[in-house]
Amino acid sequence: MSRSGAVTFKGNPMTLAGEAVAAGQGAPDFTLHFFKDGMQSLSLADLKGKPTLLSVVPSLDTGVCATQTKKFNEQLGGMGDAVNAVTVSLDLPFAQNRFCGAEGIESIRTASDYQDRSFGNAFGTLIEELKILCRAVFVLDADGKVTYAEYVPEVTSEPDYDAALAALKSAG
């Protein structure tokens, strides 16, 4: 299934692969990859047990994506280990690590969907025309149920940070 015109990129309508994820449903499973002492994987099962913020960005090498990751990192600093927080992109895990090191990102980890796009397809965030993820934010409760879902209508715009953080706090 595809959703034609679901978002725009610089004003141009784009098609998202997969179905939209909505609050109230169980989060679909996925496999992401990150580099820490070797290549490792991250799935939905790894996130259960704590409320989770999934911040989805097209690429950490762009200004808006960097801003989104930095803002969530700053806001999540006070929450410590009480929550999971992951920035998801198609950037390679090595590039994600380099970005986090250069920008002092410590409160949100990064994970990549580069291998098989399982996250992009499962959460309906893969832009078919560009082969990158759209900008989105999801909050899951400790059981993996979606409590908040935002697909940012214009990919070059920032998400609603306050609404996402409020949902994360209430999911705990």
Question: Catalytic residue numbers?
Answer: 65
Q: Using an 8 Å Cβ cutoff, are 97 and 126 in contact? A: no
Please measure the distance between the N-terminal and C-terminal CA atoms of the chain and give it in whole angstroms.
33
Strand order in the sheet with 109-112: 39-43, 31-35, 109-112, 84-89, 52-56, 136-140, 146-151
Strand partners, 56: 88, 136
Q: Using an 8 Å Cβ cutoff, are 152 and 7 in contact? A: yes
With the CA atoms of 7, 31, 171 and 132 taken in that order, what torsion angle do they form, in degrees rounded to the nearest 10?
A: -20
Q: Using an 8 Å Cβ cutoff, are 53 and 164 in contact? A: yes
> Which among 19, 29, 47 is positioned nearest to 168, based on CA atoms?
47
Query: Is residue 161 within a helix (H) or strand (E), and if so which, with residue range?
Result: helix 161-171
